[in-house]
Structure 1
Amino acid sequence: MTETTPAHVLALGDSYTIGTGVDPDERWVSKLADRLREDGESVADPVVIAENGWTTDDLDGAISEHDPDGPFDLVTLLIGANNCFQAEPPATFEPKFRAMLDRALGFAPDAESVVVLTVPDYTLTPVGQENDPAEHAERLVRYNEIVREAARAAGTRLVDVVPPSKRVADDGSLVAGDDLHPAPAQHDLWLERIYPTVGAALD
């Protein structure tokens, strides 16, 4: 990459990518671009196709509607929380997630330029605790097994953001004011895991 050829990033997802509950410059996607620039990389503003409440079906439709102009140097995919929250069986989620991963791969030059993120554990937040957390947690474990296996089979990179998401049980400052989504401090924790993987993908 040079100053005249900035890296182009496509971020696909839901509330965890669009940054529900925080300012746009506080979400991990924005902080990722900022940090890359601080480290001397030339990076265009990320193209973000994500929205609060989106399932795989919503994301699929939005990708078709936006029709982003690829290829991108880096594509990230974080989707599934709303499928899980709506009690969609893992067997139903699996082909939908694999289809979204296939679409992500279609925007990248190769599989190693795609970074898949696991689905954060929302069950430990105040809102999550009000909605059958044990049932959701069990389903979420299976969802993330699907995500990990799909990423492995496709040869993409994988970042696990489940561990920092679980820290909300002991640190309420990691939850945004809506008692559900990540606060800026949690986005920072995610970035610490995402950044090295992205750096390797862009290199």
Structure 2
Amino acid sequence: MGDSITFGQYLDATSRWTSLVEEQLRSQFTEAIEVRSFNRGISGETTRMGLERFPRDVQEIFPDVMTLQFGLNDCNCWQTDGGLPRVSLGSFRANLVEMIDRARRFGARKIVLATNHRTLRRDTLVSGEVYECANGRYNHIIREVAETVGVDLCDIEAAFAHFDDEELAELLLPAPDLLHLSEAGNRVYFTAIWPHVERAVEASIQVVAT
């Protein structure tokens, strides 16, 4: 569940980190469980929009495990909003918590909540804040939510932290905004999130077995 980073914007479906996760799930767990994977990422969406479609996109399928990734659109500011973020920090926190609560109510035994990667967007928003600084503030909220509600945190921001700008440029698509992940960036994302998904699935299998 997420935005364009979960969807895999501008890439062939097989190159997306979600597809790499699904491929690894089928390779590793097919003998133990029936693997069914759903990509519920939609480009341009915020947590507010994700929450609105949550009943249809998540609750109806009763997932055992869910990954949750939002924030890159929430922290952005549009001219038409007069410098306000698309979703305030308080609403962002509340929306994440509600999606987690709803996922648990509808069967999710394990949830992996991800921060967002560094970008090369150094432009100043209408609010006067640099985009990447806003991204960092929303990542801080994600970490707080993970700790507060007791879900597994996959710190994608930390996974990308050691890359310098030249290296990071190879992990991002140059157009349209130095934000979306390239094929190489999706592989880094997969490498970071797979151990969390693997543990979540293993724990879910153990619960069913008992």
Normalised-by-shorter TM-score class: 0.7 to 0.9
Aligned residue for 1:114, secondary structure, equals strand
Unaligned runs of 5+ in 1: 1-11
RMSD: 2.3
The reply on whether 1:169 has 2:160 as its aligned counterpart is no
Shift of 1:68: 4.2
Q: 3-state DSSP class of the match of 1:116?
A: strand
Q: TM-score, normalised by structure 1?
A: 0.80
Contact conserved, 1:24 with 1:30, CA < 8 A, in 2? Answer: yes
How big is each residue's C-alpha offset from its partner over 1:59-81, in whole Å with a ceiling of 9 and x where there is no partner?
11222344643432211100111
Check conservation: 2:159, 2:192, Cα contact below 8 A.
no
Q: Distance in 2 between matches of 1:98 and 1:115?
A: 13
Asked if 1:135 is matched to 2:130, the reply is yes
Q: How far apart in 2 are the matches of 1:129 and 1:43?
A: 44
1:75 is the counterpart of 2:66: yes
What is the rounded CA distance, in whole Å, between the counterparts of 2:72 and 2:60 in structure 1? Answer: 26
**Structure 2 gaps, min length 5:** 78-84, 203-210
Q: Which whole-Å CA distance do the structure 2 matches of 1:200 and 1:156 have between them?
A: 12
What is the match of residue 23 of structure 2?
34
Alignment of 1:117 onto 2:108:
no
Percent identity reads: 25
SS at match of 2:74: helix
Residue 49 of structure 1 contacts residue 62 of structure 1 at CA under 8 Å; is this kept in 2? no
Q: Secondary structure at the match of 1:76?
A: strand
What TM-score, normalized by structure 2, do the two folds share?
A: 0.78
Rg: which structure is higher?
A: 2
Q: Which residue of 1 aligns with 2:11?
A: 22
Q: Deviations over 1:21-77 (max 9, x none)?
A: 211111111100101222343553411222110001111122234464343221110
Does the CA-based 8 Å contact 2:29-2:35 persist in structure 1?
A: no
Is the CA contact (8 Å cut-off) linking 1:33 and 1:43 kept in structure 2? no
DSSP-derived class of the 2:22 partner: helix
Count of equivalent residues: 186
Aligned residue among 38, 44, 48 for 2:35: 44
Question: Which one-letter code corresponds to 1:170 in the other structure?
Answer: E
Query: Are 2:113 and 2:154, in contact at CA under 8 Å, matched by a contact in 1?
Result: yes
Aligned equivalents of 1:158 and 1:104: distance in 2? 16
The whole-number CA distance in structure 2 between the counterparts of 1:106 and 1:83 is 25
Q: Which has the higher strand share?
A: 1
Matches of 2:195 and 2:34 in 1, distance apart? Answer: 16
For residues 91 and 69 of structure 1, do their structure 2 counterparts lie closer, same or farther at Cα, with a shift above 3 Å needed? closer
Partner of 1:144: 139
Matched residue type, 1:163: A
Structure 1 partner of 2:205: none
